[in-house]
Chains A and B, each alone.
Chain A
């Protein structure tokens, strides 16, 4: 992750927030009137309206980042590519930005961003790409990644069963074992696993497990 220094924000430290956004919008060809209202719109939307007439260097790091995002958005770009836009934002800022990005995407604008906050990515994104040490290790819609290789996960709880009831079943890998509950990776038909479980004891739980993006990430990186 590239740490962005306070001085390296791509903003003029001594310029006032509104002036700066207005300037960037006009540089991108917006007419004066539109540039000014776009600047005001994004200042409002990203919650820095109170600081609109302050110099950027006088703002907290979090607010500087909001201004930086406003600068990226102010000229209505056709594509948004953001590097770690959420890092350094407080939870409220994260919510605001997530909403903004979802809106942009809903308007048909492709939004690409990098992040280490995988729950957020899972919530927001349609497709992900996992990059490890500069190499693409997995890519595709989140739903698809969850079912790579036709393998699905099941969580099974069997009362009064012997500990190793699941091991030795064909096409089944035991991923976790905890207090009589196991998580199994099953290739193909899961019904035979259910039958084996019932033969072993009283089945109290049998449910499909959606692997989280974090798990997929670990799996992809380890592979």
Chain B
């Protein structure tokens, strides 16, 4: 028997894994398509359900005392991208009926009372209350004989200018979205492909193929080949999903790619490699200490728990930003703000 050089042995065993798990196994294609489908759903469903449309409220103003609120509300709404349509129901009863059937979100009765179906939308409530406060203050000041231009200065002073100490990151939202999706993808790829490594090890043991293989290659070649081969398949799938996902999300306007996104994407790939190297070796051990696939669940469970725990740390960090202590101690080299 000729001795295979270490590299050749690894190359052969890795090559087998790649070919068997992509070209020879339909489940690779299917799982890639399913993941892409889920990603498309995440990107396009909110659009379909109108989550991106600007908010719109219908407010009924009953009685002369309510009318001054109209222009103020419309102006306030415009400032925060909310459209507020005002109407003038003839009576309080008519306004109430309109609120009850949902054609009005809120009715203002004679400038004294707000009528809502159940709970008032918090944002709308704040705006109506502010407009009402201003209108009442104006009436009081007018009654006290303050000249109209002084009332104007008193009630609508120019807003305070804001000075940011650090440049505002306008891409923060996009970065956070990318980080969150990346955490999900990494978790899925790692748990899927590391378990595949464990299954592969058990398969070789339970079929006794390993007895045949070890006559030709050393265990370290076999293990390295298996981990590298399956890892390449996982990386390949991650790249496909990542590229398609980014292209779709950018094209649909769900995110705008920040100029330094190459770094973010690079770090996702780096973390895949590091995470995979660690977990796949651990899962290989989990596979090696049992002899049948039914027993694998027992040894793989602690590793699954470890993975789920890390996933939650990463997930809460990507959602909550980098200011928490947990985020500070658990992120490296840098974290999305």
Contacts and interface: CB of A to CB of B under 8 A. Distances in A.
Given A10-B212, A24-B212, A24-B216, A29 B4 contact: yes
B145 to A, nearest CB: 93
B216 A19 contact: no
A29 B209 contact: no
B295 to A, nearest CB: 15
Given A10-B211, A12-B203, A27 B12 contact: yes
Contacts of A75: 1, 216
Nearest to A22: B16
A15 B203 CA distance: 12
A13 B207 contact: yes
The A contact surface, by secondary structure, is loop
B60 interface: no
A78 B207 CA distance: 25
A177 interface: no
Contacts of B209: 10-12
Given A24-B212, A28-B2, A29-B3, A12 B207 contact: yes
Q: How large is the interface on A (under 10, 10 to 19, 20 to 34, 35 or more residues)?
A: 20 to 34
B328 interface: no
A112 to B, nearest CB: 16
Contacts of A29: 1-4, 216
Contacts of B6: none
B112 interface: no
A202 interface: no
Interface of B: 1-4, 9, 12-13, 16, 19-20, 24-25, 203-204, 206-209, 211-213, 216-217
Interface of A: 7-16, 19, 23-24, 26-29, 71, 75, 77-78
Given A19-B24, A28-B4, 7 more contacts: A7-B207, A8-B206, A11-B207, A14-B20, A27-B4, A28-B1, A28-B2
